[in-house]
Structure formats: structure tokens, C-alpha cells
Amino acid sequence: MIDPEEELLSDIIQFLKNEREIYGPFSIPVITAMPEEIKDTDTFNEPGSSFTAKSADLDKRSSASKSEAMELTLQEKLDSCTTLESLRQLCEQADELRTDLQGTNLVFGVGNPHADLMLIGEAPGEQEDKQGEPFVGAAGQLLNKILDAIKFNREDVYIANILKHRPPGNRNPNPDERLRSLPYLLKQIDLIQPKIILCLGKISGTTLLKKEDTLGNLRGVFYPFRGAELTVTYHPAALLRNSQWKRPAWEDVQKVRKRYDELGGKP
Ligand code: URA
């Protein structure tokens, strides 16, 4: 009786030889002997034998590595987004953008996709979560007034946050949440290509600048940032609680308007 193991091997060898003849030398060496690893022949013919199990293992391994290879990295997924809409769809699917508050809505960003001024806050609050739009609550009302004072309509600029989902109890975004959200926000900035980025509050400024410092030290400077100039001022919610910061915030936004005009921002 022909040994099935020998028969299989000789079939494989013949197949590889034929392939080589047709296609020339290739990277798979022709096997002339069964590798030790799978040469466990005692139970070769029995269902569930070690040979069958090992083959299945190899199959599993190779299909796992195939699907690993097919799984796109986050960077590849982000690179494939060429519009804000495609990035928004990617964010809808991204569990890593969620906080530990269940059932929140994505708050992607709003405004002119070609804005020369981009404003970046910290994270959506209750109203923002409900409406799916940043800065629509009390802090948002003040932000609209600030924009108005420096002759911008809300529709002229683009507004986003470091986090795209609401944290529980409106707590500050934690470092892990900020880190997970950052690649998406950086892609959003790259798609908009603003001339000026105004960070609202310390969390926004320190996250983007990757630099721990006080807001007092960070403000008043235009930092080069991804082809734009980034500056930091007080968060509107902080201004609602601390009126003594309104004067320096006013000075900051006056500087933003001046620099915007110097850089040829859209009128
Ligand atoms: N505070 C923020 O930082 N962002 C918002 O969208 C609302 C309040």
C-alpha cells in the first residue's frame, strides 16, 4: 500500500517543480523531506491526529497573520481620509475616542472647512453632546460674543475640541483620553490648514504643544504648529467664573485678529 504521507509529499514536490519550470526560480524552496516539526507520523491517518492538528495550527497562524496584515493601522486609516466628511465617518466608528460615559454622541467640529482661524476647546459638555456641536452652551454664548468683538462670525471659523466625546460629569479630559484623541484632531487640523489656531484653555494648549506650563506662561506667544501659528488664551468657561481674566483674554484675541490680518487670513 502506498504511504499517504509519501504520496502527499511527492505530489507537493512535483507541483513545486512544475511551477518552477513554468515561472522560473521563486522564493519557496522545494521540500525534499518532511520537516521534523510535522513528521509525527504514528497517528497521521487518524482524524484529529497530531499531523492534522499541526496543519490546522499552521493554517490558523497563517490566516491570523494574513488578517493582521490586512488590518489597517490607525495612521493608514487617517491617511486615507482626504475630506472632513471621511474623517468624521472614521471618528463615528472609533471606540478609542469615547470616554467612560456611555451613549454619548460624537461632537466632531463645526464651521468653515477652509477656515483660516481654528479654535480648539477641551471637551463637549452636556449641551454639546445633545446637539452634536461644540460650544453651544453658556461658554459657547460667550465665545460667540468674543468672536463678534474681533469681527468674526461663528461660520467663518472652525471650532473643535481636544476630545470628541463628553467626559462624565464634565471632568477635565484625562491624559489617556487626550492621547487617544490627538491623532484624529491633528488630521482634522491638517485637512483644514488654518493659518491660526487659538487654543481655549490650558488643557487645549498643553495637549497640542506637548508642554506642561501655566496658562499665564503659555499665552501671548504664537508658536509654529503644523504650518500654522498656535496661540493660547483663557477658556470662555473660566472667564465666566473669573472676570479678572477678561482683560488679558481681550488682549489675546486682539492679537489674534491682528496676526490673522498680517498673515492674509480671509476677510
Ligand atoms: N467647553 C469646551 O471646551 N468645549 C465645548 O465644546 C464646550 C465647552
Domains and CATH numbers, the chain: 78-262 (3.40.470.10)
Order of strands, sheet of 228-233, starting from the edge strand that comes earlier in the sequence: 110-111, 158-161, 117-121, 196-200, 228-233, 223-225
Instruction: Point out the least confidently predicted range of 1-10, 75-84, 100-109, 211-220.
Output: 1-10
Q: Is the pLDDT reported for residue 56 higher than 60? A: no
Q: What is the pLDDT of residues 172-227, one digit of tens each?
A: 999 999 999 999 999 999 999 999 999 999 999 999 999 999 999 999 999 999 99
CA distance 38 to 55: 8
Which atom of ligand 1 lies nearest, measured to the CA of 201?
3
Which atom of ligand 1 lies nearest, measured to the CA of 204?
3
Q: How far is the CA of 203 from the centre of ligand 1 (A)?
A: 11
| Cα Rg, the chain, nearest whole Å | 29
Q: Which amino acid is at 190?
A: D
CB 129 within 8 Å of CB 163: no
- Give the 3-state secondary structure of residue 253: helix
Q: How far is the CA of 30 from the centre of ligand 1 (A)?
A: 64
User: What's residue 75's pLDDT?
Assistant: 97
Q: Is the pLDDT reported for residue 32 higher than 60? A: no
Q: Is the pLDDT reported for residue 41 higher than 90? A: no
Q: What is the pLDDT of residues 229-263, one digit of tens each?
A: 999 999 999 999 999 999 999 999 999 999 999 99
Angle between helices 246-262 and 138-149 (to 10 degrees): 50
> In this predicted model, which residue has the larger pLDDT, 257 or 57?
257
Q: How far is the CA of 126 from the centre of ligand 1 (A)?
A: 9
Q: How far is the CA of 124 from the centre of ligand 1 (A)?
A: 5
Instruction: Point out the least confidently predicted range of 6-10, 165-169, 214-218.
Output: 6-10
Q: Is the pLDDT reported for residue 154 higher than 60? A: yes
Which atom of ligand 1 lies nearest, measured to the CA of 127?
7
Which atom of ligand 1 lies nearest, measured to the CA of 162?
3
Return the best residue to mutate from 127, 144, 146, 161 for the ligand 1 pocket (most ligand atoms within 8 A of CB): 161
CA distance 55 to 247: 74
Q: Is the pLDDT reported for residue 88 higher than 60? A: yes
User: What's residue 10's pLDDT?
Assistant: 75
Q: How far is the CA of 156 from the centre of ligand 1 (A)?
A: 18
Q: Is the pLDDT reported for residue 152 higher than 80? A: yes
CA distance 104 to 98: 8
User: What's residue 100's pLDDT?
Assistant: 96
* Interstrand relation of 158-161 and 110-111 (parallel, antiparallel or unpaired): antiparallel
> Which residues approach ligand 1 with their CB closer than 6 A?
121-125, 128, 134-135, 137, 139, 161, 237
Report the percentage of the chain scoring pLDDT > 90: 73
